[in-house]
Structure 1
Amino acid sequence: MIVPLSYISPIYSSLEKHLKHLQNHLKRENIGFDFHSLAFHRTIVGMKVLVADDERRVCALICALIDWEGLSLQNVGTAYDGLEALEKIKEEKPDLVITDIRMPGLDGLELISQAKALQPNLQFIIISGHKQFDYAQSAIKYGVAEYLLKPIKKQELNQTLQRMKKLYTEQTSSMILQKKIKEDREYIKGASFLSFLKSLDSQILSPWVTENVLLRILVIGIQSPSKVPVIQLLQQKVRTAIEKDSLNVCVQAYQGDLYLLYTYKQEQRSQLISQAETLVEILKVQAQIFQDLRSTVALGLEVQQLEDLPSSLLSGKQILLRRLVDGHHRMFEANMLEKPDLEPYLDFIASWFEQCCAQESLNMRQFCLDLFDKLEENRISLYATMEIFLQSYRQALHFAKEQCAQENAVQNNEQLINEAESLEAAKEAYCNVMNSLICQYREAREVLVSKPIRLSITYLQEHYKDEMLSLELLSEHVNLNSSYFSALFKKNMGVGFSDYVLTLRIQEAKRLLVETNKGIAEIALEIGYHDPKHFTKIFKKNCQIKPNEYRKLYG
């Protein structure tokens, strides 16, 4: 059916308006989506024409009379009987056939009948020497709009072709625009669905949901080491499979899984279930090809209102977790939506994690094992268990990064929990990532703590001769409390501040005694002692001999 352009234009205006609204929404939600493939215009190529007559000279005459260039027409060939004409129609797929009404093999009317079965929109101009109206009436019955009598006149032929070209252009423009509207609607609908998956704002989907329909989200959970290329392939396989059915479905990839949005009538419910089961079988075949691929189909709750769509999405995600217990490559259907209270567990874990960070004697792995026993004892559901794992890990990660004051000090390993093949594997992954987080935190804190020590050593090497040097002065230089810095310095250097400074001064005194002729008083003053006697006393206490004896022995 060819729809007039005057009918299509308002539809496209509405589509463009929604596109602008959607682009603003995606920008707010920080979602990237490529809209450059949306083309609102397409160039119409020249009309292709086939000429058929059992007389070669008539074919040649017709071709000579046509103003090919002026009318932007393309000659795709000539045929001299009906069968040859039909074959060339199959091969060249012309837009217009100029044919004699009587030809061997197939006459004009039989040719039109069979050709129309192949190309319903194919146009014909009938040329004949017969004036009988029964031929014209038969031709009109087959959809022929133009009927010319021999002898053919150039002006009449080109005027007829001009009318045919105008009709062809209108029809082609209409068909192209209809196709683009359909394609662009699906593209923008996909962008709207992606926005919903991230923001859970179901109103962004309102232009695509009509009244009195049911809505349901299907989740295809995918686990694979090579996830990006695999999910692209599976998305195409899924699209191909659902195109065969009449259901209204939108497919979108998000965060490593596939999501399908169904809008359907009540009588199509069984068809939806059947399609979901078909998808399971398709995914099983792909799992045989990709040995490391695990996939599971999960159907969320059926909802009647658009504002309830987030419940369908969340229930689908919840029931998807059954794969950890019952296995992959199968379908699960949600019959409820869980709303567990996780705060007591999250607070408890956060408190323990912070204690583990402060006290190296505490064992995070043993705590995790005790936590698993507690969750099982309290009969915490599979969904709540996994949410406790994920949310407590995110809390711990945030705490570690905040305390270390460095964004890259600790690594995010959340995907190890998400990619677990079973519940036991998820528990093991949780133990490992929490324990690893503790280790990364402690290492990062050691680096962070060692920085003041490095600064203080550099400062002391430059100022140890300063008579006014003190622990308080150095603590202020590294921006730490003097008591805390004193303990930190001794822990890292093995000796206290005073002993370290004394060692630097004695080493310099030895060098000056051996390498220079400076007097004892001058050396004492140079390394920070105004009283030579006090210097001599300290030197003898540390080196077991007096400064002048050291010079005689080593100088």
Structure 2
Amino acid sequence: MKKREMVAILGMVIADDEKKICKLIEYLVNWDEIGIQLLGTAYDGITALQLINEKKPDILLTDIRMPGMDGLCLIEEAKKLNDILKCIIISGYKDFQYAQQGMRFGVRDYLLKPINQEDLTRTLKKLVKETHEQMWKQSTHLHLEETLKTYTGTFKHLFLKTVLQKKLCEQEETILKEVTEINAADIIKDSSRCIAVKPNINYREFTEESYQLLTEKTLEIAEVEFSSHNWVWISEITREGIYFLLFYNALDRKELLESINHIKERVLSLQDLFPRLYFHAVISEPADNCLQLIHRIKESRIGIGNRLLTSLNTVSEIKSYVPFPAEPKSIDTRISELLENKPEAFDMAGIKKCVEAAREIMTAEGISSCLQVKKNLLVLLNYYLKGFRQLDTTLTDSEIEAWFSEMYEHCTSIEQTFCLLEETLCKTLQNVLEHLKNREIKPVIYAKHYIEENRGINIKLEELAKNTGFSYTYFSSLFKKETGKTLTEYIQMVRIESAKKLLTEKERSISEVAELAGYNDIKFFTRQFKKTLGVSPNEYRKLFTNRSQGGH
């Protein structure tokens, strides 16, 4: 049907094999006053049908007896083109019985020949009014349907978005209460399923632009597939993947599986654009109410997260997940014990050893949930980041954690997540060390300052190295490279220099000088002093005293 505004002029076609009748009707009607435009006249049924198909009139005024196609056949065929076409039959008394047959096509108006101007005008005005009312009702109904569709669709999106933003451990009843408050509690009129889809690029090749393009392509492929089945759905994109809520009256499970596998094949065919491309999808069981659907969404999130435990490029059905998978507490305990031993924060080899130990702990205990894997990987990450920050306060650990969490979502196996952690830590340490090389205060300067400030106490070299964040072996080599002396030699030099100053103070005894310089054993102090300067502490004091007196 040709779309018209409610106030638009209606169009009409006249069909009668008598040309003088057509001319008479055209003459009798005040077209502008009634609000009708005469679109054309035809003198046989076939021409009239062609004209109707071309001009799309709102009203047809036709005779019954016409060559080619009679008026009743014309009405029947015209109604197929426009089922709300208003039809008026013109007939004589002898054709009245045929006119009555037109009622089965919805004809309610007929005019007897000879045509009366008053009857014709009244009939046309009535049809114009009815048509305008019908068009208004239809327009209002369509607008209402569109509004309801938009309204319902908006709240469906809000419902899905709200549930996906919640932590997986949050109570489903609490989430239901929140979505009830946003007027989304009765969005499910029929059964629904949650489908989680994860198109993936290996984290080593990940770029924001490429992944966004892949996500858009996947969404486009899925929407084309769902549309081909006339399914009703909504979608939401998160860092975890693309989530669909599929609404239906009746859905064949086999058909759904075939569709998701078809989406998988289409996505994986994009290898030319994305060389290392992966695809996972999980399909929930049906949900018949909001609380159940919240549960299905959470199951789907857990299911798509556990893709790391499955083969690559799989489509699977979720059968029997619990709301929040039980996690072996022994894994958390053993990871905590691993960190209680305070592994070296500034040692590449130590980092690799610690990550490997964590991997052995988790795989030995048996991993049933990737949620626990990610949680413990973040514990390890934050332990090291805290150590790195002790040396480099400019380190933006929150950004590194966010980056790690994002790249974790692009891993394709459990093994790869440990590789990601190791690479992240080693790269961060390398950046910290590079940054420290360009800083005014270096770890060696800190150590030198610490030794000078604490020369009078028994300095433990391992603790000193740890305070700078390095292993003892690594820091010793770094210290000698910077100062030309080993830590022990440097401490000895500082203590001897301190003793030299103290010996100039006559009131202090040799044993007191030794203790203040950091020596507990006066004999060892005397031996070290003489070894360094060639004279004993007593001889040094006499030499200094004589030199002072000679100066007077």
Same fold (TM over 0.5): yes
Matched, 1:146 2:109: yes
CA separation of 1:134 and 1:310: change in aligned 2, threshold 3 A: same
Check the 8 A contact 1:316/1:334 in 2, yes or no.
Answer: no
Within 5 A, what are the aligned runs for 1:507-526? Answer: none
1:83-103: CA deviations, max 9, x gaps? 333334444544443333333
Question: How far apart are the structure 1 equivalents of 2:6 and 2:224?
Answer: 29
Matched, 1:430 2:393: no
Question: How far apart are the structure 2 equivalents of 1:64 and 1:441?
Answer: 96
1:307-329: CA deviations, max 9, x gaps? 24343223223333336532205
Choose which of 261, 274, 292 in structure 1 pairs with 2:255. 274
CA-CA distance at 1:208 after TM superposition = 0.8
Q: Give, as a single letter, the amino acid of the residue that structure 1 aligns with 2:47.
A: E
Identity %: 18
CA separation of 1:138 and 1:418: change in aligned 2, threshold 3 A: same
Check the 8 A contact 1:410/1:437 in 2, yes or no.
Answer: no
| Helix, strand or coil at the partner of 2:327 | coil
1:12-46: CA deviations, max 9, x gaps? xxxxxxxxxxxxxxxxxxxxxxxxxxxxxx96473
Matched, 1:314 2:298: yes
Provide the residue aligned with 1:134 in structure 2. Answer: 97
| Helix, strand or coil at the partner of 2:197 | strand
Matched, 1:108 2:71: yes
Provide the residue aligned with 2:352 in structure 1. Answer: 365
Choose which of 208, 226, 235 in structure 1 pairs with 2:187. 208
Provide the residue aligned with 1:223 in structure 2. Answer: 200
Question: How far apart are the structure 2 equivalents of 1:333 and 1:344?
Answer: 27
Provide the residue aligned with 1:239 in structure 2. Answer: 223
Q: Give, as a single letter, the amino acid of the residue that structure 2 aligns with 1:173.
A: S
Question: How far apart are the structure 2 equivalents of 1:124 and 1:348?
Answer: 83
Question: How far apart are the structure 2 equivalents of 1:221 and 1:283?
Answer: 10
CA separation of 1:215 and 1:441: change in aligned 2, threshold 3 A: farther
Check the 8 A contact 1:298/1:333 in 2, yes or no.
Answer: yes
Provide the residue aligned with 2:370 in structure 1. Answer: 383
Matched, 1:340 2:317: no
CA separation of 1:125 and 1:99: change in aligned 2, threshold 3 A: same
Check the 8 A contact 1:82/1:108 in 2, yes or no.
Answer: yes
Provide the residue aligned with 1:326 in structure 2. Answer: 311
Matched, 1:52 2:10: no
CA-CA distance at 1:298 after TM superposition = 0.4
Question: How far apart are the structure 2 equivalents of 1:248 and 1:334?
Answer: 23
CA separation of 1:164 and 1:285: change in aligned 2, threshold 3 A: same
1:274-326: CA deviations, max 9, x gaps? 31332212331342245434322202355555324343223223333336532
CA-CA distance at 1:221 after TM superposition = 1.6
CA-CA distance at 1:62 after TM superposition = 4.7
CA separation of 1:160 and 1:222: change in aligned 2, threshold 3 A: same
Question: How far apart are the structure 2 equivalents of 1:424 and 1:72?
Answer: 77
Q: Give, as a single letter, the amino acid of the residue that structure 2 aligns with 1:176.
A: L
Check the 8 A contact 1:277/1:331 in 2, yes or no.
Answer: no
Within 5 A, what are the aligned runs for 1:391-402? Answer: 391-392=378-379, 395=382
Provide the residue aligned with 1:258 in structure 2. Answer: 242
| Helix, strand or coil at the partner of 1:206 | coil
1:402-436: CA deviations, max 9, x gaps? 87466588542433221123444343223322333
- The alignment of Structure 1 onto Structure 2 pairs a total of residues equal to 421
Provide the residue aligned with 1:421 in structure 2. Answer: 412
Choose which of 22, 47, 50 in structure 2 pairs with 1:84. 47
Question: How far apart are the structure 2 equivalents of 1:387 and 1:319?
Answer: 14
Question: How far apart are the structure 2 equivalents of 1:398 and 1:66?
Answer: 90
Choose which of 113, 127, 132 in structure 2 pairs with 1:166. 132
Question: How far apart are the structure 2 equivalents of 1:374 and 1:252?
Answer: 36
Matched, 1:198 2:133: no
CA-CA distance at 1:76 after TM superposition = 5.2
Q: Give, as a single letter, the amino acid of the residue that structure 2 aligns with 1:222.
A: P
1:317-359: CA deviations, max 9, x gaps? 3333336532205334342235233776567658749956844
Provide the residue aligned with 1:296 in structure 2. Answer: 280
Check the 8 A contact 1:410/1:440 in 2, yes or no.
Answer: no
Question: How far apart are the structure 1 equivalents of 2:28 and 2:440?
Answer: 94
| Helix, strand or coil at the partner of 1:326 | coil
Check the 8 A contact 1:280/1:296 in 2, yes or no.
Answer: no
CA-CA distance at 1:247 after TM superposition = 6.2
Choose which of 179, 183, 188 in structure 1 pairs with 2:155. 188
Choose which of 64, 72, 85 in structure 2 pairs with 1:123. 85
CA-CA distance at 1:248 after TM superposition = 5.7
5+ long unaligned stretches in structure 1: 1-41, 455-470, 473-482, 500-555
Question: How far apart are the structure 1 equivalents of 2:363 and 2:193?
Answer: 32
CA separation of 1:322 and 1:232: change in aligned 2, threshold 3 A: closer
Stretch of structure 1 that moved more, 380-389 or 166-175: 380-389
CA-CA distance at 1:126 after TM superposition = 1.3
Aligned-pair RMSD on alpha carbons?
4.6
Question: How far apart are the structure 1 equivalents of 2:371 and 2:67?
Answer: 79
Question: How far apart are the structure 2 equivalents of 1:427 and 1:409?
Answer: 19
Q: Give, as a single letter, the amino acid of the residue that structure 2 aligns with 1:137.
A: Q
CA separation of 1:408 and 1:103: change in aligned 2, threshold 3 A: farther
- Larger-Rg structure: 2
Check the 8 A contact 1:357/1:442 in 2, yes or no.
Answer: no
CA separation of 1:227 and 1:208: change in aligned 2, threshold 3 A: same
| Helix, strand or coil at the partner of 2:60 | strand
5+ long unaligned stretches in structure 2: 168-174, 446-451, 454-463, 470-477, 485-489, 495-552
